[in-house]
């Protein structure tokens, strides 16, 4: 298993390009099930989750070919309509095949994802929405089996703005008979990206990016030709690397409108932010001011940046409070940060962080994707050497992070243990 060895204390400077967004790419890949193809998808990041999605699509009859940095997919009628446990277990986003399969073929069998390290993460709202659209749903030996002759439009209120649920239901509604109105829909930029691609395929959708999305079903869709949006979480992580090392980093391709909550918090921290057409530049402050954050659905502060921001607060000059409201168990990075000398107390969904002058390099273990990124950032700012193991989590969601950081002057290398 690979490890990252980080010798901390280098000031990061320079320019680095952001990759395509994993969380946009996955629903876009699954949306190709809605039409025969050939579909063309550009700016896909090279990540383990993307390979898993391609395996899943291949199992569902698709042919997948990479040409000149673009992927060409053809979605043939599958021999099986199943997303098996082995794949859903490693990547929960696999449940996003449910809506497209049901809409196009009237049948889907998808393993229930179960819990994961950061919380229970049920899919009850995905299922409730599909039932409202006329699907018959049965649970069978750990699988959800859904059937419908043709889905029909419905008015669906989501009890909470689930990102995956909104994506699944939008995709399902594109081929339903009649109009679907999703209320209390999630507003994340990745949903807007998905809707743009679907509109290019001929779908009739209004209101993406607001809390009410209206989809008028059509009889068939055309192949997709689309480029994935830049990854706002990767961009945010690289900008935090600049803030943590008193460095100056310009992230090329980063979109300020996708990262407003983070940028306003970085300003409060004392960082200098410069935005131009090429991207976002952050200059880290000499002294990091403590700032409170509370994670919320978009446009609130993203839960996917909480762990990384806590690494920054761990070396702030004073006390900050980090509240996690989206997932129930997303503080697993705290024990590892404490091993690096951070002073953090957890009480329920709230972590109180008392900044320390210096983090201390240590052997630490990644527990999930964003926790891994948090520990990389901590290692960059710590003294001596940090050895980060279980980085397969990092490889699920960050394309070549160590190469990008090395380009900015970090002393970081991957070794095979």
Residue range at the interface with ligand UD1 (CB under 6 A); choices 120-128, 141-149, 202-210, 313-321: 120-128
Binding mask 167-186 for ligand UD1 (x = CB under 6 A): -------------------x
Q: Distance (Å, rounded) from C-alpha 116 to C-alpha 102?
A: 25
| Order of strands, sheet of 212-216, starting from the edge strand that comes earlier in the sequence | 155-157, 179-183, 212-216, 204-206
Among 160, 220, 260, 318, interactor with ligand UD1 by CB under 6 A:
160
Q: Whole-number minimum distance, CB 399 to ligand UD1, in Å?
A: 15
319 phi, psi to nearest 5 deg:
-105, 135
Note whether 122 binds ligand UD1 by CB under 6 A. yes
Instruction: State both tokens at 386.
Output: 């940090």
Note whether 162 binds ligand UD1 by CB under 6 A. yes
Nearer Cβ to ligand UD1 (121/196): 121
Q: Whole-number minimum distance, CB 327 to ligand UD1, in Å?
A: 5
DSSP code at position 33: G
Q: Whole-number minimum distance, CB 14 to ligand UD1, in Å?
A: 28
Nearer Cβ to ligand UD1 (162/248): 162
Q: Whole-number minimum distance, CB 342 to ligand UD1, in Å?
A: 22
Residue range at the interface with ligand UD1 (CB under 6 A); choices 65-73, 122-130, 357-365, 377-385: 122-130
Among 234, 304, 324, 336, interactor with ligand UD1 by CB under 6 A:
304
Note whether 121 binds ligand UD1 by CB under 6 A. yes
Note whether 163 binds ligand UD1 by CB under 6 A. yes
Note whether 303 binds ligand UD1 by CB under 6 A. yes
* DSSP string of 79-143, one letter each residue: S--EE-HHHHHH-GGGGGGHHHHHHHHSEEEEE----BTTB----HHHHHHHHHTT-EEEEETTE
Residue range at the interface with ligand UD1 (CB under 6 A); choices 50-58, 116-124, 206-214, 241-249: 116-124
- Nearest-Å Rg of the Cα atoms of the chain is 21
Nearer Cβ to ligand UD1 (170/382): 170
Q: Distance (Å, rounded) from C-alpha 307 to C-alpha 367?
A: 11
Which three-class secondary structure state does DSSP give residue 29? Answer: helix
Note whether 125 binds ligand UD1 by CB under 6 A. yes
Nearer Cβ to ligand UD1 (94/248): 94
Residue with token string 């918090």: 265
Q: Whole-number minimum distance, CB 53 to ligand UD1, in Å?
A: 10
Binding mask 184-223 for ligand UD1 (x = CB under 6 A): --x---x---------------------------------
Between the alpha carbon of residue 122 and those of residues 53, 159, 404, 405, the distances in Å are: 20, 13, 35, 35
**Minimal CB distance residue for ligand UD1:** 164
Q: Distance (Å, rounded) from C-alpha 328 to C-alpha 115?
A: 11
DSSP code at position 258: G
**CB neighbours of residue 31 within 10 Å:** 29
Range 312-341, binding ligand UD1 (CB under 6 A): 326-327
DSSP code at position 12: P
CA-based nearest residue to 180, from 203, 148, 209: 203
Note whether 139 binds ligand UD1 by CB under 6 A. no
Instruction: State both tokens at 352.
Output: 């109180």
Instruction: State both tokens at 411.
Output: 């002393």
Q: Whole-number minimum distance, CB 231 to ligand UD1, in Å?
A: 11
Which residues are known to be catalytic?
Answer: 116
Residue 308, class by beta-carbon neighbours within 10 Å (0-12 exposed, 13-18 middle, 19+ buried)? buried
Which residues, at least 6 apart from 1, have a Cβ–Cβ distance to it below 8 Å?
Answer: 389, 390, 391, 392, 416, 417
Range 18-77, binding ligand UD1 (CB under 6 A): 23, 26
Nearer Cβ to ligand UD1 (129/379): 129
CB 241 within 8 A of CB 14: no
Among 110, 123, 185, 254, interactor with ligand UD1 by CB under 6 A:
123
Which stretches of the chain bind ligand UD1, using CB under 6 A?
Answer: 23, 26, 92-93, 119-126, 160, 162-165, 186, 190, 303-304, 326-327
């Amino acid at each position: 298993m690979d490890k990252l060895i980080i010798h901390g204390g280098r000031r990061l400077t320079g320019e680095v390009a952001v990759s395509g967004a994993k969380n946009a790419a996955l629903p876009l890949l699954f949306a190709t099930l809605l039409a025969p193809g050939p579909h063309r998808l550009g700016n896909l990041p090279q990540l383990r989750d993307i390979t898993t999605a391609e395996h899943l699509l291949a199992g569902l009859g698709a042919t997948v070919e990479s040409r000149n940095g673009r992927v060409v997919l053809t979605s043939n009628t599958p021999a099986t309509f199943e997303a098996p446990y082995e794949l859903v277990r490693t990547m929960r986003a696999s449940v996003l095949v449910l809506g497209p399969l049901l809409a196009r073929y009237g049948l889907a069998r998808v393993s229930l994802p179960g819990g994961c390290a950061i919380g229970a993460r049920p899919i009850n709202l995905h299922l409730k929405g599909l039932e409202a659209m006329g699907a018959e749903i049965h649970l069978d030996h750990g699988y959800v089996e859904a059937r419908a002759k043709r889905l029909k439009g419905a008015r669906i209120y989501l009890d909470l703005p689930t990102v995956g649920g909104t994506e699944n239901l939008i995709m399902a509604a594109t081929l339903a008979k009649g109009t679907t109105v999703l209320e209390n829909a999630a507003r994340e930029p990745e949903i807007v990206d998905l809707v743009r691609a679907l509109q290019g395929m001929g779908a009739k959708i209004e209101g993406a990016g607001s809390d009410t999305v209206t989809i008028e079903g059509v009889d068939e869709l055309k192949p997709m030709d689309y480029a994935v949006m830049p990854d706002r979480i990767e961009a945010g992580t690289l900008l935090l690397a600049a803030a943590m090392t008193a460095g100056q980093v310009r992230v090329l391709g980063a979109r300020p409108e996708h990262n407003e909550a983070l940028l306003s918090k970085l300003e409060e921290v004392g960082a200098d932010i410069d935005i131009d057409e090429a991207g976002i530049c952050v200059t880290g402050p000499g002294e990091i001011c403590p700032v409170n954050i509370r994670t919320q659905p978009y446009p609130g502060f993203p839960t996917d940046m909480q762990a990384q921001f806590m690494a920054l607060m761990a070396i702030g000059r004073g006390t900050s409070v980090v509240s996690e409201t989206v997932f129930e168990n997303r503080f697993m990075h705290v024990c590892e940060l404490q091993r690096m000398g951070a002073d953090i107390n957890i009480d329920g969904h709230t972590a109180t962080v008392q900044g320390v002058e210096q983090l201390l390099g240590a052997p630490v273990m990644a527990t999930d994707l964003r926790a891994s990124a948090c520990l990389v950032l901590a290692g960059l700012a710590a003294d001596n050497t940090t050895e980060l193991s279980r980085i397969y989590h990092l490889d699920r969601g960050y394309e070549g992070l160590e190469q990008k950081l090395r380009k900015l002057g970090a002393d970081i290398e991957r070794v095979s243990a």
